[in-house]
Structure 1
Amino acid sequence: MVIDEKLGVIPQSAGDVLGVLLDDVTCSEVDANRSAARQAQRVVEAVEFARRHPEIYTIDADVQMAERAVVLELSLRLRISQERVRELCSTAETAARDLPLLWQRARDGFASMHSVGVIVTAAGPLASPVGAPRGVRDAAAAALARLDRAAHEWVLTCSSAVLRQRAKKLVDRITGDTAARRHTRAMADRHVSVSPAGDGMSWLTALLPAHEAVAAMRRLSATAKHTRKDTREGRTRDQIRADLFSAWLRGVGTATAVQTKVFVTVPVQLLAGGPVPVESASIVGGDSIDPLTAKQLFLDARGFRRVITDPVKGVVVDMDRRTYRPTRAQRDWLTLHHGTCSRDGCTRLAVDADLDHDIPWATGGTTDLTQLRPLCPRDHTIRHRTRVRYRTRPDRSVQVISPTGYASSAPPPF
C-alpha cells in the first residue's frame, strides 16, 4: 500500500492509482459545477436587488441605469465582460423559471453552466410571447416541462455537442418546425465580425446564407486559380484567395475604395532604417505590426492619418473654457495616448469613444488634454447617469468606484 498526503491510502496497482486520480477529477468537476451555479444565482440576486433598489446606483431611481451599473460592477469584480455577466444572469433566470429540474442538476453539480446555456438557448422557440392568452402560456409551459424532463437526464451522460443536437431535435418535434422557418430565423442573425488572431493578423468572419458563402468561395478559388504566374510572386492558392478577399472588400482600384482612418504609430527610426525596439510599430488600441508592414502602410497611406512619434508637436492642448468641443488634434492625440477606453478593463477602441471632461464642463472644467479622457459610449453614459465615480489617476487611466465601496484596480505595467 502507498500513502499519499492528498489521496490517502492508495493500492499499489498502477490501474488503481489512475482510477483514484480520475475519480478525483470527476469530483472536482462536480464541485466546480456547483460553485459556478451558485455564482450565477448570486449574479441574478445582485441584479434583482439593484432593480428593486435603484436608488443605490442612481439619483432618479432609474431601474435600467441601476441594472447597467451593477452589471458593470460585477464585470469588474469577476474580471469578465459585461456581456458575459448578462449571459450568466439570463441563463440562470431562465433555467430557474422554465427548467427547474435542469437547474437543480446544476445546483447539485451534475450539469455545467455551459450545458445549462445550451438547453436554455434551444428552449427559446418554446417560450410564449409576452401577453399571450392563457391557453398559449399553458401549452408553452407543457412544452418546456417536456424538454426539462429530457434534458435533466441527458446532462448526466451527453457531451455538449450531443446535448445540443438532442435538444434541437426535441424542440423541432414539439414545435413542428420546418427547415424553411429555421432558415428564416437564422437569416435574422447574419452579421460580420472581426477578432484579433495575434501577430498582426485578424479573423474577418461573416455569417451568410450557405449558397452565398459557397458562391463567394468558388469565385475566390476560380480567380486565384487563373491568376497569372508572373503575378503570383510565390504565393500559395490560399494566400491568393485571402489577398483577393481583402482587396475586393476594401475596393482596391475602384472609385469606392475604403477611406476609413486607421491610426498606426511608426517610430521615425524605423523609416530611416535604423535599429528600433522589437514590436515598436502598432495599430493604436490593437496589435503590434512588423516593421516591413509599418513602412508600407506609411508609404501607401491615403485613408490613414500618418503619425510619426513624437506626433504632438504643434498640437493645441489648451482651449478657452467657453469652447466645449475638443479639436480634431486633441481627439487624435487622446486616441494615440490611450488606444482604448480609459476605464479599467475596457478594451473598446478610443477612436470610437466619447471625450469626457474629468471635471464636467458645466461646473468649470476646461477643454484641454489634462482634463479630457476617452470613455466608450456605454461608460460615458454610466458616468453621467449613475452614482458610479470615474476617477482619473496620474497616468490618465480611469478607476471605477462604486456606491458599494468597490474600487477597480489597473493591471500592472507590462
Structure 2
Amino acid sequence: MTTDQLPAAAAIAALRGELRSILDSPGAVQQAELVDAIGELETLGRVVTAAQAELTARLDASLTREQEEAGARPEEIGRGVGHVVALARRESPHRGRRHLSLARIVPTELPHTWAAWKSGHIDEWGATVVARETACLPREHRAAVDEAVAGDADALAQLSPRQLMARLRSETEARDPGACVARRRKAESERHVTLRPAPDCMTWLTALLPVKDGVAAWAALTRTADTARAEGDPRTHGQVMADALVASVLAGPHERPSTPVSLGVVMTDAALFGGADDEAHLEDLGPIPAELAREIVCGAATAEEELSIRRLYASPTTGELVSMDARTRTFRGNLAKFVKLRDRTCRTPWCDAPVRHVDHVTGWQSSRSTSARGGQGLCEACNYAKTAHRWRARAAPDGSVTTTLPTGHQHTTRPPPIAMVRRRIVPVLQMDYVIAG
C-alpha cells in the first residue's frame, strides 16, 4: 500500500516516526548542515500549519454539509465546528474558532497568501496578519492587496512581522483610506484595560490605547527609568518602569504627564502639507498612516504643546534617509538620533526589537571613522551577539549591511524607505512635539 492510499492520520504518523528516527540517530554533523536542517524544519513546520488549515477547511465543509442534510436551521449551520477543531489541536474553543476562520478565508479570498503559506514562505501568524489587516476592505480590494504584498513569495519571506504589517497598512490605506479611518475610529472607541494571571503569583496588566496616548505613556515611563538608572537606582530598567506605572496610577488621574514627554513623528513634506499618502513614522512605535500623522501634528499645534521641526532628506531612488557624518568616535546627539530614525528597528532580520544601541558596523578600531553609513541601530542583545567569535559584519556603499555567521551563512539588510521614491531629493520632516507637564 502506498502512502497516498493510507488514511491521512496514519500517513502523518508515519512521517512523524520517520522524522523522529532521524533526530534520534547519532553521528557528527557539520555546523552549516545543522543550520540548514533547522531552516528546513522551520519550513516544514510552516507547511504543516498550512496542511492543518487545508484539513480544517475540508472538515468544515463536511460537517456543515452534514448539518444541512440533517435539516438544521440556517443560523445553526457550522455550529460546533470550531470546538471540534479546538479539541483536535488541544486548544481552547476561542483559538479553535480562530483557526477555523483563517482556514475559511485564506484559501478562498487570499490566494497569493495561501500559496506562500503552503510553500513555507510564511507561517500561520503571517497569514493571520494578512487576513486581519485586510478585513476592512471589499473583496476586490482585498485581492489587490494580497497580490501586491504576497505576489512575490520570496520578497514576502524577507519581511519581519512589523514590516509585514506596515506594508499591509500602506497598501490598504492607498486603496480604501475611508475604510481604514473608520476602522481606526472604531478601534479607538474600544480602548480598555485587561488583567490576566501570570506565573509565580504575578499578573499581566494590559492597556489597549490610541497610538498617541500609548507611545506617550511608554516614553514617559522610559524617561523615568533612564533618569533613575543614571542616578544609581539599583532596580532594573523594567522594574523602574513597572513601579512608576503603579505609582502614577495609584496617585490618581491626571490630565497630563507630571513631566514633559518628547515624541517624534517623521513624514514627508508632501504628506504634511500636500495631503499625500506617504507613510509616516512614529518613534518607539513604527509606521502610521499619513492621515493619523497629520492629526497628531495638528493636535499638538492646537493644544499648547511645544512643536519643533527638523528637515532631513531621503534618497530619490530608494527612499532611505541619506547619511550624515560626524567626527566623534561614539554615536551621540543628532547622529545617533538620525541612525535611529533611519533604521527604525533593530537591523537584524526579523528581529523588530526597538533600537537600543547605535554602534559601528565593523568596530571603530577597524573603520577609524564615525558616520551614519558606517553605523547601524541594533537592540541590546543583537549588538552583543555580533561580538561573538567568528561573527563578521560589513557595510556597503549602498547602505546595506552584510552579516556573516560563524557557520558561513550571510544575511544582508537595508534601512527601510522613509519616503515614497520620487524624481528628486525628498524633504522629510522630523517633528518633535512635547506634551507639557
Is TM-score (shorter-chain normalized) higher than 0.5?
no
TM-score by length of 1: 0.44
**As a proportion of its length, which structure holds more strand?**
2
Q: Say which structure, 1 or 2, has more relative contact order (CA 8 Å, 6+ apart).
A: 2
Q: Which has the larger radius of gyration?
A: 1
